[in-house]
Structure 1
Amino acid sequence: MPTIEKELRVQSHPAPDWKSLSLGSPLLAALPESARRLTRSLEIQRQGAVFRRGDRPQTMFFVLSGEVRLLRQSKTGSEIVLQRTRRGFLAEASLDQPTYHCDAVAAEPTRLLAIKRKTFTQALAVNDFRDRWIAHLARELRKVRAHAERLSLKTARERIVHFIETEGEAGVVDLNQSKKDWAVELGLTHESLYRTLAQMAKGGELEVENCRLSLRWT
């Protein structure tokens, strides 16, 4: 099956609605007009490939809705999720790389922005956009460090508490994914996650209301 990266070379796609996009993302709002004119919006179905490992990066992708995951195969054949993007740039570290080192696959029907890599690189010469891009990368680095710290914790309870405290506000977090997907992100089996959530709720440590998790310290 062809990837979105390759289809962009031969197919025409509509221009985005920059007025609404700018309201939702300060980073996109700072994208220079010269880059906006060359940016296109597109859609990809569930399990569709944005790019594959070994492809040459020629486009920067921004996820508008849906979800794209960066995946790599382990030695045992299971999938390792390197990044989950529901709204934001995808595979930022590939901007200056000769090839992709993983696959990017849509976890559900997804809308994307596609910005040519050369166009994106030229946009970084504009001070406002460059400063916002640097700030964005700094936030992503903090998220990666928090994730690595979380995976170093030994128990499921510790990982759950760490996630709520670092990803939420005042001990409350609203999950934007299924609990099964969350278990994968925490490095747990879904059985272990559900069991620990139930134990914490029974012990009065945690309140679980649909996708909202609230720590309750006594």
Structure 2
Amino acid sequence: MATIERELSAPRHPAPDWKSLSLESPLLAALPESARRLTRSMEIERERTLFSRGDSPQAMFFVISGEVRLLRRSKAGGEVVLQRAQRGFLAEASLDQSTYHCDAVAAEPSRLLALPRRAFTGALAVEGFRDKWIAHLARELRKVRAHTERLSLKTARERIVHFIETEGEGGVVDLNQSKKDWASELGLTHEALYRTLAQMEKCSELRIDQSRLTLQ
């Protein structure tokens, strides 16, 4: 995508502060110098589309701050959140694809690293980085499987319970997003989510304390 290529070389997108980034991310700490030299930081405003379905991937993105989401449209016309990238890589599966299969939209003002695709592929030839990348993909695969399983459940109640049990501990989860955003992640309308939460609370299946949800 030409716009991304221009932004990668634009002067207003300086080289990242690798010293601080390496302290926060073991994966970035292992990134070879050859790839670091070609990586640039960039800032995007809320609701900006980073890339769209059908675009050709030209870079790998790492979200430093903020949040970028991978989105698809459901048959009912609502948004389904496939990934919420916060302090991590975005759309890892696009590395060997000819086009993106979803949209990437900033949920809030965000700062990212843009690593040219060719440079990132070259970095995978370095054993230390490759091993950490494989471990990262294994963790992400477990998350994706849980998310896919959740979306296959038929009722809103089942999806809510599954989320709390898989994303929380001991039947308790603290939401780090609004309930409206959570509804999108669950593949529900926010009306259906609010209605089901109220029913579960009324039936003493669920205790709601602001952002904390506890299965009873």
**Common fold by TM > 0.5:** yes
The reply to whether residue 33 of structure 1 matches residue 33 of structure 2 is yes
Q: How far off is 1:77 after superposition?
A: 5.5
What are the within-5 Å matches in structure 2 for residues 39-188 of structure 1? Answer: 39-73=39-73, 78-188=78-188
TM-score normalised by the chain length of structure 1: 0.88
Say whether the 8 Å CA contact 2:150–2:186 is kept in structure 1.
yes
Q: How far off is 1:122 after superposition?
A: 1.1
CA distance change for structure 1 residues 51 and 163 in 2, over 3 Å: closer, same or farther?
A: same
Q: 1:4 and 1:83 mapped to 2: Cα distance?
A: 23
1:5 aligns with 4
How high is the sequence identity, in percent, across the aligned residues?
A: 76
CA distance change for structure 1 residues 63 and 158 in 2, over 3 Å: closer, same or farther?
A: same
Q: 2:139 and 2:36 mapped to 1: Cα distance?
A: 24
Q: How far off is 1:48 after superposition?
A: 1.6
Say whether the 8 Å CA contact 1:3–1:50 is kept in structure 2.
no
Q: How far off is 1:99 after superposition?
A: 2.3
- RMSD between superposed Cα atoms in Å: 2.2
CA distance change for structure 1 residues 209 and 94 in 2, over 3 Å: closer, same or farther?
A: same
TM-score normalised by the chain length of structure 2: 0.88
Q: How far off is 1:17 after superposition?
A: 1.7
CA distance change for structure 1 residues 211 and 4 in 2, over 3 Å: closer, same or farther?
A: farther
2:196 aligns with 196
String of CA shifts for 1:155-184, please: whole Å, max 9, x gaps: 222211110111112222221221011112
Q: 2:119 and 2:138 mapped to 1: Cα distance?
A: 22
Say whether the 8 Å CA contact 1:3–1:48 is kept in structure 2.
no
User: How many aligned residue pairs are there?
Assistant: 215
SS at structure 1 position matched to 2:96: coil
Q: 1:72 and 1:183 mapped to 2: Cα distance?
A: 14
Counterpart AA for 2:39: T
Which deviates more, 198-207 or 175-184? Answer: 198-207
String of CA shifts for 1:106-162, please: whole Å, max 9, x gaps: 122111011111111111111121111111111111111111211222322221111
Q: 2:122 and 2:66 mapped to 1: Cα distance?
A: 28
CA distance change for structure 1 residues 18 and 210 in 2, over 3 Å: closer, same or farther?
A: farther
Q: How far off is 1:63 after superposition?
A: 0.9
SS at structure 1 position matched to 2:71: strand
Say whether the 8 Å CA contact 2:5–2:58 is kept in structure 1.
no
Q: 2:118 and 2:107 mapped to 1: Cα distance?
A: 28
CA distance change for structure 1 residues 135 and 197 in 2, over 3 Å: closer, same or farther?
A: same
- List gaps (5 residues or longer) in structure 1: none
Q: How far off is 1:52 after superposition?
A: 2.5
Q: How far off is 1:40 after superposition?
A: 1.3
